[in-house]
Amino acid sequence: MQLFVGLGNPGARYARNRHNIGYMAVDRIAEDHGFGPWRARFQGQAAEGRLGGDKVLLLKPETYMNLSGNSVGEAMRFYRLTPEDVTVFHDELDLAPGRMRVKQGGGHAGHNGLRSIHSAIGPEYRRVRLGIGHPGHKAAVSGYVLHDFARADADWLDDLLHGLSDGANDLAGGDSARFANAVALRTAPPRPAAKKPAGPAVEPAVDRPAKEDTRTPLQRLVDRFR
C-alpha cells in the first residue's frame, strides 16, 4: 500500500490558496481515478482507491500545514508503512508556475509542512514539487502562499493538475520518468511540425510539335553558310 499526501490548510478560507495546491492535486486524482468518498481519518480527510495495480490511500491532513507530520505519522503507523511508501504533493516557491519535479529524500527547504513531516517520519519520503513561483522578496512569501491563485493562473493550474492525474498510475508504479512525461504532455505539449513553405510553381514540361519550316531550298542553303 502507498500513501499519497496532499499538503494544505483546511476550510473554505484557504481552498484556493497557492499553499493548497497539494490538496488540489489529490482531489484531482481522487475524482479522475474513482477513489472512494473522503472520510475523516488520521486527523485529516482520507480516500482509498487503486492506481494501476497498487492500493493507495490519499490523505489531506487537517492539522494545518505546520503540524502535517502528525497526520502523516498516524496513517503510516496504522498501515505499518515506511517513508519510502509515502509521496507528498506540495507547493514549491523555487519552481516557476506550472513546473513540476519529483524528488526522493532531501531537505525541507524551509517549507513548514515538510519540516513537520521530517520531524515525524524522517526525510526519506518522495516529494512531488509543484511550482507556484516566488514573489521576489522573502518578506512577501507568507502573504503570497496564503493568497488565492490569480485568474490568470487558471489555465496552467488546470493543465498541471490534470497532468498529475494522467501520470498517477506511473507514479504509483515507481516510474517517475513516465509520470513526468505525462505531466509535460499537458503543461508543455509538443508543437506541431512546421509546414515547409511551398516553392515557386514550376510549369510542367510539355512536348510541343516542331514548328513547320517554310523556307525555300535556296533560303535553307544560304542560311547554312551565314
Tell me which residues are annotated as active site: 19
Give the number of residues written for the chain.
226
Q: Which of 154, 152, 96 is nearest to 129 (CA)?
A: 96
DSSP code string of the chain: -EEEEE----SGGGTTBGGGHHHHHHHHHHHHTT----EEETTEEEEEEEETTEEEEEEEE-S-GGGHHHHHHHHHHHHT--GGGEEEEEEETTS-TT-EEEEES---TT-HHHHHHHHHH-S-SEEEEEE----SSGGGHHHHHTSBPPGGGHHHHHHHHHHHHHTHHHHHTT-HHHHHHHHHHHHSPPPPPPPPPP----PPP---PPPP----HHHHHHHHT-
Give, to the nearest 10 degrees, the angle between helix 154-166 and helix 176-187.
150
